Chains A and B, each alone.
Chain A
Amino acid sequence: MKRFAIAECRVSIAQVLTSGFWLLASAALLLSSACNTLPVGYDQLGDRVTGTADTTLLPDSASSYARYVPLGGSSILHLGRDTSYVSRLVLRFSILDTMNLDSITSFQLVLHQRDTLATMSFICRPCSSEWTESGVSWRMADSFNHWLTPGGDFLPDTLATGTMAGDSAMINFRYAGLDSALQATIRNCGIGIFPQDTGFVVIHSGVSTTTAPRLRVTYTNSGKQTQRVINDIADASLIDTVATRSQPFDLLVGSGVAFRTWLSFNIDSIPAEATIARADLKFKPETKYRRTETIVLGASRLTESFSLKGAYARYENLPSSYATYVVPADSDSVVTIDIRSLVQLWTGRSDTLHNYGLLITASPEWSELFRLRIPRSGPNAPTLEIQYVRPPEDRFK
């Protein structure tokens, strides 16, 4: 009797296990159907969906301007010159006056560069006017004051000469032997570094503490040789164009000296209630100058009228969209910037947010030097291809 009961129990366990297996298998099958997003039943909404509409717009206004923009705070510094651009550096160090300079045995300037194959001879001179990193440019010493001479005010004294080669340059720097007035000038106004050769080198800025421009000071302290490294506290490139070789009405986009192109599209034909599914700004630029193969462009929304304020019209500092343009050998590829969110903003908030157009800029504007020309007309001119979807119809039509 007991044996029979055990046998019955075993059968029950087997049955339970089998049932459990089938239950789990069924649950797994159902779950696999539950997690998917297949378009089952979408047909039932067919008469409520309005479908998509496509439109291609040409800019109804376009313009371009150049601006000496402050290049402080960037991660790279440009030093060099060629037939198109010239670039010099300004650097400032802070704590030179805290040491007993009489005991200094060595005073060196150290610069690190990105491309270890590039070379560049340079010369350092004291700067004679104070400047700020956030406002300094070829024209301006800070946000309000111009240099006395465009390109910066410098004294004729030579503090150091050297050559940038390999991954870094370490050159002796005259400071300890200078008279106190000049030392004070250097402390307050910093130094300028001028290229001596043709070509460009890209030097790491003070953004990275490990590769920042620095002074390496060796001095004797209590009879013991001590070395101290002093990173710069401010640095910037001062860049100017030598020759742009462009026509007055060319639409240009470039870095260093910022070339910006303003485009305005009339999107009134797009209903305010439409959802923008795609909005691609397309153009095929002509590369006028480049020092890199990968160029990043940004599209920023203007917040003021360009027609009224011209180059002084404000725009959103952070671009709404970006596009990476890899310059091909034959310069035959199209730049496509996805500005869907921008167009959606213009159409959806047309009552409160005016469409002043957009600004195409280098992103960032201190990036490696380039200059593109956007054709104003023809097949390569900018077009805005928009695909939009109208809102669904009501349940009861």
Chain B
Amino acid sequence: MRTFQILDCRLQIVRSRVILTSAVCLLISAFACPSIAQSFFNSRGLGEITPSGDARIAALAEPSALSTLNPGIFVDLNQTSFRVTAIGTAILGTQGGNSRLLPDARPAAFDVATPLPFGTCLFGGINQKFSQDFDVWSESLADTAYRRHIIGRGGIYALRAGLAKSLFDKVCVGVEFNHVMGGSREKWRFELENGGYTSTDTIEVDYAGNTFKVGGSFQSRVFSLAGYYEPPLNLSAHRYKRVHGVIEDSTRTYALSLPHSLSFAAAFSPVSRLGVDLGLTLNPWRGATITRDDGVSDLGYKNVWRGSVGAEYSIDSIHPVRLGYSQQTWYYNAGMYGRADPMPITENGIHFGTSVPIPKFGSLDISGEILFRNSPVLKEAAGRLMLTLAYSEAWAKRTRRWGY
């Protein structure tokens, strides 16, 4: 019996090593890949709002107030922790009977938190807020052998650092400073039918801005409540346009103003093995404006919300399974030649995942998502695989605590 237990233990260690090695390989390959989650809708607006970059939260349908995006989530943090996340995406776009796949892999986020005296903790990280990656081809231009191939790469990122204070072992409040920065580079190529291209127009935009975030949470064994508030974000955008590499660059500066955001979440654990969560994010961005040399104008964004419901069930003490459903409307409309009427982009998602404990390290959180995005002109079906390697200073059995 004892021999059998030792063998079983050795087998588990070998399995864990294999999983850990695979995860590290995946993470390294994702970090080596230059491109980011793409969407055929990303050529508009500021691009897709990027998920939190936490596989555990993604598997529960992204209640972002329960993720590390909430500066007040760190109740009872007693060990230094970090997590690094990679994401792989495949998007199948369908329009007018045509379909095209955009596969992708990339690093998603890095978060670190460490406890300080007096129940405080210091945390920071980097994550993407908006993705502007896309890759589309035009129809053949009339009477010519040329087609346009437009490749957009880039996004807007938040460098985050903050301080949180835990109260009564159940409550936490936190504040976070965000330096928002990023850029996008669009290449508008004239492709020849026989391959190659004749000329390229390039549009580059650099973004920069600063903002902060406040959040708080109440967490008990049975019930948790969390929320955070993000005040309006003012971004300055510098645009450089280079036309087929021979014209002097033309530059332009914009000031983008994005109204505030709110995110709430509630979690309920009626029995020890089961937890249910609800999430709501509000982005009332109808008032988003752009300031140029010639004045201020509306960006045409909308007031939108995102709702989610998720559940976690522990098969045994260390093997949880997670399932969730989300629904949202994008903050900008889809576009189409010659049509000015609004064409909303709606998104429905099914989320699932699990965690694999890694002895003396932490855990590997895995999530899968299937997203269906619909607009009157274009449909997308996206599959997303997210891996989060979570390290805790001293590994211990994970309890159902949000944040770390």
Check A37–B93 contact: CB distance below 8 A: no
Is B94's beta carbon under 8 Å from chain A?
Answer: yes
The interface residues of chain B lying within 8 Å CB-to-CB of A278 are 143-144
User: In the complex where A34-B102, A38-B100, A396-B299 touch, is A43 in contact with B378 (Cβ < 8 A)?
Assistant: yes
Given A41-B43, A278-B143, check contact A391 B201 (CB 8 Å): yes
Contact pattern, A 31-49, Cβ under 8 Å of B = 1, otherwise 0: 1011011111111111111
* Chain B nearest Cβ from A355, distance in angstroms: 15
**Contact B243 A39, beta carbon cutoff 8 Å:** no
A46 to B334 CA separation, bound complex (whole angstroms): 10
Interface size for A (C-beta < 8 A) is: 35
> Does B92 sit within 8 A of A, measured CB to CB?
yes
Partner of B143, one of A31, A48, A272, A387: A387
Assuming A33-B99, A44-B41, is B138 touching A39 (CB within 8 A)? yes
A330 sits at the interface (CB 8 A) = no
Q: Is the CB of A44 within 8 A of B136?
A: yes
A171 CB, min distance to chain B CBs, angstroms:
50
The interface bits of chain B over 284-325 (1 if a CB of A lies within 8 angstroms of the residue's CB, else 0) are: 000000100000000100000000000000000000000000
A396 touches B290 (CB 8 A): yes
Q: Tell me the bound Cα distance from A358 to B159 in angstroms.
A: 56
Q: Which of A40, A49, A394 contacts B93 (CB 8 A)?
A: A40
Residues from 108 to 131 in B contacting A, C-beta threshold 8 Å: none
A392 to B43 CA separation, bound complex (whole angstroms): 12
Q: By the criterion CB–CB under 8 Å, are B337 and A43 in contact?
A: yes
Contacts of A391 in B (CB 8 A): 188, 201, 241, 243
Q: How far is the CA of A387 from the CA of B141 in the complex (A)?
A: 10
Count residues on chain B whose CB falls below 8 Å from chain A CBs: 58
Known: A45-B150, A396-B237. A39 touches B98 (CB 8 A): yes
B349 CB within 8 Å of chain A: no
Cβ of B221 within 8 Å of any chain A Cβ, yes or no, is no
Which of chain A's residues 165-181 have a Cβ closer than 8 Å to chain B?
A: none
B252 contacts the other chain (CB 8 A):
yes
Q: Would you call A30 and B90 a contact (CB within 8 A)? A: yes
Q: A277 in the interface, Cβ–Cβ < 8 Å?
A: yes
B361 within 8 A of A: no
- Is B142's beta carbon under 8 Å from chain A? yes
CB-CB under 8 A from B256, the residues of chain A are 396
Closest chain B CB from A281 CB (angstroms): 16
Q: Across the interface, which residues of B come within 8 angstroms of A272, CB to CB?
A: 247
5 A–B contacts from the bound complex (CB under 8 Å): A34-B103, A41-B40, A44-B335, A49-B138, A340-B198
Interface residues of B (CB under 8 A from A): 40-41, 43-44, 90, 92-95, 98-103, 132, 134, 136-139, 141-144, 146-150, 184, 186, 188, 190, 198-199, 201, 203, 205, 237, 239, 241, 243-244, 246-247, 252, 254, 256, 290, 299, 334-338, 377-378
Interface residues, chain A, CB within 8 Å of chain B? 30-31, 33-34, 36-49, 52, 272-273, 275, 277-278, 340, 344, 348-349, 387, 389, 391-392, 394-396
Listed from nearest, the 3 A-B pairs whose CB atoms lie closest are A41-B40, A33-B101, A38-B98
